[in-house]
Amino acid sequence: MSRSFIAGAAGLALAGALLLSPAAQAHKRWLLPSHTVVSEAQWIAVDASVSNDIFDVDRPYPLKALEAVGPDGKPATVDNRLEGHRRSVFDVELTQPGSYRLTLPGQSYFLAWQENGEPQRRRGWNGADALLAELPDNAEQVALTETHSRLETFITMGAPNSTALKPSGQGLELQPLTHPNDLYDSESARFRFLVDGEPTEGVEVELVPAGTRYRDSQDHWTLTSDAKGEITIDWPAAGRYYLEAGFADKHPDHPKAQQRRLQYLATFEVLPL
Amino acid sequence: MRPWLALSTTVSAALFAGALTANAGATELRLEVAIPRMAVAEYHAPYLAFWLKHADSGEIVPLGLWYDDQEKWLKDLRLWWRRTGRTQSAPYDGLTGATRRPGTHSVDFSALPALAGLPAGDYELVVEAAREVGGREVVRLPFHWPADDTRTVTAKGDTELGTVTLQVGP
């Protein structure tokens, strides 16, 4: 009796935490390019991993949805896709001057319900309908949450341009006011967050410097987008940074979902000058 | 290929002569750069870049580049790359040439066409060195253009550059 009570309380607490804080339970996910600023045409290699260890690999991230966009806005050539045991990797060919964008969009659903007074929950990556089909007949207090995530990183050959960086107008996106391949220590960067193309206040942003494996603290810091949807990042040092932004609203695509959670995750490289 | 090359050389020589004429007796901008000898197991001669920065406007005038035709490493001249290199492509602006070994080297920018129309004002001549398996260093030499009489400005690097001496004159 006490055991089921504990399980129930823990389940309820977990479901509550998931609802309140979209990012809190999710693992960090990231793309890590071997190079971000290059001075001639070349291939670069990219790791994609689900790992809380920034930037050391842990688990592979599916590459099926990968978008690689070149400086002319057209698809860039991707080769050697591999989803390994601890990471995914792929190569991108940089052939023309300008900026390349790599994006891995993802969508999942989270379903919570009560069954015989017990909280139940399930997560699905194959659409809401597949998840809803698993609901038992006696399910009560059904809550469906839609989650969109977007992993991004940027690479520039020669001078930066912004064609590939143009927002799509869907979900949570970063609109760079400082070019993401023009980041230097002792300078600050300004980014604007858009939700469905509109600058949005209240986007919660977390930044983590690389190298968590070799220190005893995360050394992360948090920012919230202002009335113009903007944040200013003062880079503490040169290096690579993990950025995770989250926002929740009540505008899901699926008619049976009540809430939409938006996640934007990006990797930036800051150079010494 | 050869006749084309020969023609190209003639044309640049002619342009050069023209620039010299336009500038005749008006300007002098010469540099002596010491590249220190390193006691290291793996040594590669440093890439060097030279440019002018206008003190007020921040405008950049590329003066030269010493590299070994490996554009792959040009990004390592980080400041030059950001200020001007990344918006260029080969042939790079200014006097370009191969890397130099340790020792003191002279380079005379006086005849560069870019100096002919250079507005009067305070400038910095910036020298940046980046060495593979080594370090990077930037040295700045402030001066006024045009110079009333011959002046010498000296700066000294700590690691990748030795003494750098600028001679600017009428």
- Of B72, B79, B87, which is closest to A40 when you measure between CB atoms? B72
Q: What average pLDDT does range A127-133 have in this prediction? A: 92
Q: By the 8 A CB rule, do A142 and A111 touch?
A: yes
**Closest by CA position to B79, among listed A184, A244, A10:** A184
Q: By the 8 A CB rule, do A175 and A263 touch?
A: no
**Closest by CA position to A273, among listed B128, B66, B143:** B128
Containing A126, the helix (H) or strand (E) segment is: none
Smallest Cα distance from A42 to chain B, Å: 9
Does the structure show a pLDDT above 80 at B99? yes
DSSP characters over A154-186:
EEEESS---GGG---SSSEEEEESS-TT--BTT
* A158 chain-B contacts, CB cut-off 8 A: 86-87, 89
Euclidean distance between CA atoms B9 and B18, whole angstroms: 14
CATH value at residue B159: 2.60.40
Does the structure show a pLDDT above 50 at B7? no
pLDDT band at A216 (very low <50, low <70, confident <90, very high): very high
* B87 chain-A contacts, CB cut-off 8 A: 158-159
Render pLDDT for A81-121 as a digit per residue (tens, 0 to 9).
999 999 999 999 999 999 999 999 999 999 999 999 999 99
- Of B72, B74, B87, which is closest to A159 when you measure between CB atoms? B87
Structural domains of chain B, count: 1
Q: Do B87 and A272 touch (CB under 8 A)?
A: no
B71 in contact with A at a CB cutoff of 8 Å?
A: yes
B75 in contact with A at a CB cutoff of 8 Å?
A: yes
Euclidean distance between CA atoms A63 and A67, whole angstroms: 9
Q: By the 8 A CB rule, do A144 and A258 touch?
A: yes
Smallest Cα distance from B136 to chain A, Å: 10
pTM of the model: 0.86
Q: What average pLDDT does range A212-229 have in this prediction? A: 97
Render pLDDT for B150-166 as a digit per residue (tens, 0 to 9).
999 999 999 999 999 99
A135 in contact with B at a CB cutoff of 8 Å?
A: no
Q: Any residues with CB less than 8 A from the CB of A37 and at least 6 apart, and which?
A: A155, A156, A181, A269, A271, B75, B81
pLDDT at A25: 61
* Residue A211 neighbours by CB distance under 10 Å: 14
B101 in contact with A at a CB cutoff of 8 Å?
A: no
Q: By the 8 A CB rule, do A273 and A186 touch?
A: yes
* A40 chain-B contacts, CB cut-off 8 A: 71-72, 74
Euclidean distance between CA atoms A208 and A188, whole angstroms: 15
pLDDT at B69: 85
| Cβ-count burial A161-193 (b if 16+ within 10 Å, e if not) | beebbeeeeebbbbbbebbbbbbbeeeebebbb
pLDDT band at B26 (very low <50, low <70, confident <90, very high): low
Q: Do A39 and B79 touch (CB under 8 A)?
A: no
* B80 chain-A contacts, CB cut-off 8 A: none
* B71 chain-A contacts, CB cut-off 8 A: 39-40
B73 in contact with A at a CB cutoff of 8 Å?
A: yes
Domain extent for B141: 2-169
A45 in contact with B at a CB cutoff of 8 Å?
A: no
Q: What average pLDDT does range A112-138 have in this prediction? A: 93
Residue B94: left if φ>0, alpha if ψ -120 to 50, beta else—which one?
Answer: left
Euclidean distance between CA atoms A208 and A30, whole angstroms: 12
pLDDT band at A26 (very low <50, low <70, confident <90, very high): confident
Query: A262 in helix, strand or coil?
Result: strand
Q: What average pLDDT does range B90-117 have in this prediction? A: 95
Residue spans per domain, chain A: 2-270
Smallest Cα distance from B83 to chain A, Å: 10
Q: Do A158 and B82 touch (CB under 8 A)?
A: no
Render pLDDT for B125-134 as a digit per residue (tens, 0 to 9).
999 999 999 9
Does the structure show a pLDDT above 90 at B4? no
H helices present in A96-167, as ranges:
128-132
pLDDT at A23: 42
Q: Do B85 and A184 touch (CB under 8 A)?
A: no
Interface test with A, best of B75, B83, B88 (most A CBs within 10 A): B75
* Residue B64 neighbours by CB distance under 10 Å: 19
Q: What average pLDDT does range A231-260 have in this prediction? A: 97
Q: By the 8 A CB rule, do B38 and B161 touch?
A: no
Phi and psi, residue A91, nearest 5°: -110, 150
Range in A21-25, A137-141, B36-40, B125-129 the model is least confident about: A21-25
Render pLDDT for B47-87 as a digit per residue (tens, 0 to 9).
999 999 999 999 999 999 999 989 999 999 999 999 999 99
A238 in contact with B at a CB cutoff of 8 Å?
A: no
DSSP characters over B40-67:
-SS--PPEEEEEEEETTT--EEEEEEE-
pLDDT band at A78 (very low <50, low <70, confident <90, very high): very high
User: Which residues on neighbouring strands pair with residue A190, listed in sequence order?
Assistant: A232
How many A/B residue pairs have CB atoms within 8 Å?
A: 31
